[in-house]
Amino acid sequence: MSRSTRAAGRRAAPRGNRSRHRAYRTRSVSKAIGLTLVSALIPGSGFVMGGRTKLGAFVMTLSFGLLALAAYIGLTNRNAVLELAVDPRRLLIATAAVVVLGLLWIWVVVASHKLLRPVSLTALGRLAGSAFVGLICFGIAVPTTVAAQTVMAQRDLVGSVFASEGNSKSATRPDVEDKKDPWADQPRLNILLLGADDGAGREGTRTDTVMVASIDTKSGDTKLISLSRNWMRMPFPEDSPLHKLYPDGFYDPDLGNVEQPEYYLDAMYRNLPAAHPGVLGPSDNEGADVLKVSAGAALGLDIDYYMQVNLKGFESIVDALGGITVNINYRVPIGGDYRGAGSADDVLPKDYLEPGRNQKLNGHDALWFARGRYGLSDISRQERQRCTIHALVSSANPGTLVTKYQQIASASKKLLQTDIPQEILPAFIELGLKVKNAKVSNIDLDKNKNFPSGRNPNYEAMREIVQKAIAPKKTVASTPASPVTPRKPSTGKSTAPPKAPAGGTEDLSDACAYHPANP
C-alpha cells in the first residue's frame, strides 16, 4: 500500500466516526435522558437506537426470553418453582443469578446512555445525565438487593428448620419413597402440633399446647383435635418399647389414683426421655417422638410428623405478620398463676384483654390470648388456641408474605422445630395452599363424658369419636328442596352460634366468631 493511500485512509476515518455520531447520537440532554429511560424499561433498545443493532437485538431477545421462560414455568410448572423454593443449593444459585442479572441490567443502562448522549456536553448537561443514570441504577439495585436477601433468607430458613433425611434422625418419621407425591395412597396426613414453654422460671420444657391436625390430602379439609395438658395414663401402642415400660399408660401405680403432675401429658416431653433416654431409637427430638407415639395411640391415629413452636418465639412470628385479628368473647387474663383452690399464693393477672369484635393483636397479646388461663377453663383455652391457629393461617396473605418475608423467615427460624424432611417440602407447600382455602373444624372429644378429670380419660371412647369424624362422608341422593321459611328481621344483637354436639365437629369460622358469652 502506498504512502498516499495510507494517508487518505487516516484522513477518511475521522470523518466516518463523526458521521456515525451524527447519525445515532441525540442532539439534547433531555432526549438522551428520555431514551435512556426507555432502554432501562426495554433492555437492549438503547443499543438499537444508538446503532449497535446486533448487540441490541441480542440483549432484547435475551431479556424477553427470560421473562417468557419465567412466566411459562410459573404458570405451567408450579412444582418446579416449589422445588426451587425449598432446595438450599438451588436457592444459592438463584441468589447468584439475581445479582448477576441486576449488574447486567445496570451495565446496559450505563452503556446505552453513553451511546446516546450528545458528543459535546456542558458540565451541567453531563451532571444531569449522570444523576439520572445514577437514579435509575439505584432503582435497579435496591429491588435486586432485596430480592437476593429474600432468597437467602428463604435458604437460611429451609436449612435451619427443615433438615434433609440424611442429616436428621427420627424414631417415628415414616419412610417415603415417592418424594414428589408422598401421600398419593394416603387419604389423611396427621401432624402433631406442639406449643413448648421453656421460658424463664421453668425447669425444662413443658408442652402446654398439644394438638393434632388431621388433613385430607385431596381437599385440604382439616380437623383439629386438642389434647388436655393434664391427661394422665397416656397410652402407647402394644408394639412400642414404651408399652412394656408403661402397660397401663404413663403414670405411677404406686402413687394411687391421685393427681400426678409429673405424669401429665404436658410433662411427658421432658420426663419420659429423661427417665428412658434413647428408648425409641436415634432421634433429634426424643420428647416429640414420644408424644407422636402416645398421642397417636390415644386418638387412634398414625402421627406422621410434628411441628413444635416455642411459645415465647410465637410473639416474633405474629409481629412479623403484622399482627392477627381475632374475636374476643370474654375477658382473657394477661399473666397470673392459679396455685390451687383456697391458696393465698395466687399471682393475679397484670391486665386483661377485653371483649371485642375483630381485635387486632400484636405478638405479646396474641400469645396471652392463646395461653391465658387464670380463672378460665382448660376447654376455653384450647378453643382460643385453635382460633389463634385459624387467625394465623388467615393472616398469611401474599402481600404480607412478600413485603415482610425476611422478618417472617428470621422469626420462623427461631420459632419452629420439625421432623418434616426437605425432600417433601414442595408437596407440603401444595397441601398448605389447599388447607388455606379449605374448611378447618374442631373435633369435640366430649370432656364431660370422657375426661371430666385428667386422672383416667376414656381413650377408647375418644378414638371412636375421632374415627367417626374423619371417616369419608357418604354421598346421599338429593331430595326435593323444602319450602324456604321467611327469615325473621334482625334485632341487631349478637348471639352465639349453636354449639357442636358432644363428640361432633364444629367449623372454626363459627367457633371463632364474635358471640360474647361466659367462657
What is the pTM (predicted TM-score) of this model? 0.74
- Does 503 fall in a domain? no
Q: What is the pLDDT of residue 301?
A: 95
Residue 496, CA atoms < 13 Å, CB-side half-sphere: 11
User: Where among 430, 449, 470 does a domain terminate?
Assistant: 470
Please state the rounded mean pLDDT for residues 28-37.
87
Quote the CA–CA distance of 470 and 505 in Å, as a whole number: 10
What confidence tens digit (pLDDT) does each residue in 230-242 have? Answer: 999 999 999 999 9
Q: What is the pLDDT of residue 294?
A: 96
Q: Please answer whether residues 513 and 456 qualify as being in contact, where contact means their C-beta atoms are separated by less than 8 angstroms.
A: no
Please state the rounded mean pLDDT for residues 335-360.
77
Q: What is the pLDDT of residue 76?
A: 83
416-418/305-310 β-pairing? antiparallel
C-alpha cell at 267: 410433662
Q: What percent of the chain has pLDDT over 90?
A: 41
- Does 361 fall in a domain? yes
Please state the rounded mean pLDDT for residues 222-249.
94
Whether residue 126 is found in the same domain as residue 202: no
32-41, 125-134, 196-205, 224-233: least confidently modelled range: 196-205
Q: What is the pLDDT of residue 479?
A: 46
- Does 87 fall in a domain? yes
Whether residue 300 is found in the same domain as residue 417: yes
Q: What is the pLDDT of residue 65?
A: 93
Q: What is the pLDDT of residue 383?
A: 86
Q: Please answer whether residues 457 and 231 qualify as being in contact, where contact means their C-beta atoms are separated by less than 8 angstroms.
A: yes
Q: What is the pLDDT of residue 462?
A: 96
3-state DSSP assignment of residue 144: helix
Sequence-distant (≥ 6) Cβ neighbours of residue 118 within 8 angstroms? 25, 26, 27, 28, 29, 32, 125
The residue segments making up the domain with residue 315 are: 188-470
C-alpha cell at 168: 436428621
Q: Is the pLDDT of residue 495 over 50?
A: no
Please state the rounded mean pLDDT for residues 95-103.
93
User: Which pLDDT band, with edges at 50, 70 and 90, does 203 fall under?
Assistant: low
Which of 191, 410, 144 is closest to 299 using CA atoms?
Answer: 191
- Does 515 fall in a domain? no
What confidence tens digit (pLDDT) does each residue in 1-14 have? Answer: 555 555 444 444 44
Whether residue 198 is found in the same domain as residue 266: yes
Quote the CA–CA distance of 92 and 148 in Å, as a whole number: 9
Quote the CA–CA distance of 408 and 117 in Å, as a whole number: 45
Whether residue 437 is found in the same domain as residue 323: yes
Whether residue 215 is found in the same domain as residue 152: no
Q: Is the pLDDT of residue 15 over 80?
A: no
- Does 489 fall in a domain? no
What confidence tens digit (pLDDT) does each residue in 367-387 have? Answer: 889 888 888 887 888 888 888
Q: Is the pLDDT of residue 205 over 80?
A: no
Whether residue 101 is found in the same domain as residue 230: no
Q: Is the pLDDT of residue 407 over 90?
A: no
3-state DSSP assignment of residue 183: coil
Whether residue 146 is found in the same domain as residue 216: no
Question: To the nearest whole number, what is the mean pLDDT of the chain?
Answer: 82
Please state the rounded mean pLDDT for residues 275-295.
94
- Whichever domain contains 317, its CATH number is 3.40.630.190
Whether residue 404 is found in the same domain as residue 279: yes
Q: Is 479 exposed, middle or buried (0-12, 13-18, 19+ CB in 10 A)?
A: exposed
Q: Is the pLDDT of residue 249 over 90?
A: yes
Which of 183, 161, 162 is closest to 174 using CA atoms?
Answer: 183
Dihedral sign of CA atoms 45, 46, 47, 49 in order? positive
Whether residue 141 is found in the same domain as residue 237: no
Whether residue 99 is found in the same domain as residue 194: no
- Does 268 fall in a domain? yes
Whether residue 200 is found in the same domain as residue 86: no
User: Where among 470, 490, 507 does a domain terminate?
Assistant: 470
- Does 301 fall in a domain? yes
Q: Is the pLDDT of residue 90 over 90?
A: no
Sequence-distant (≥ 6) Cβ neighbours of residue 39 within 8 angstroms? 45, 46, 47, 49, 108, 109, 112, 113, 116
Whether residue 201 is found in the same domain as residue 326: yes
182-186, 311-315, 366-370: least confidently modelled range: 311-315
- Does 85 fall in a domain? yes
Number of domains in the chain: 2
Q: What is the pLDDT of residue 213?
A: 94
Quote the CA–CA distance of 383 and 68 in Å, as a whole number: 48
Please state the rounded mean pLDDT for residues 492-499.
45
